[in-house]
Structure 1
Amino acid sequence: MEYMTAQDAANKWGITRRRVQILCSEGRIKGATKMANLWVLPKDAEKPNDARKCKNGDKK
């Protein structure tokens, strides 16, 4: 399996490296693993949906 770093994912998804690290630590990216002090993600990992957005325009 091929992997990418948190920085590679950040560039690919248009978000910050820190945000990718937070998503990894929250377990929201399937297959993300921490090796020493570096998060690695599968190359085919998908950006998780923004949990702040409501489905179907419903407001909470």
Structure 2
Amino acid sequence: MKLITRFELASKNENELHYALRLAFNELAKSDAGSPKRRNALASIENIQNELNSRAPCP
């Protein structure tokens, strides 16, 4: 899996972010432990979650 950066995610809407999160999670589930694919999937998931959290309304 290609690493998805915060820069790439900034131009996506919330539905696209949730879709990307699902794809990254599926790639993570299929990857081998310690593989570059797994590291990229984990980093992408973290980037997507950070982007979603940055858009969440503050209470």
User: Do the two structures share a fold, i.e. TM-score over 0.5?
Assistant: no
* Greater fraction of residues in strand: 1
Compare the two structures and name the one with the higher helix fraction. Answer: 2
TM-score, normalisation: structure 2:
0.32
**TM-score, normalisation: structure 1:** 0.31
Which has the bigger relative contact order, CA under 8 A and spacing at least 6?
A: 2
Bigger Rg, structure 1 or 2: 1
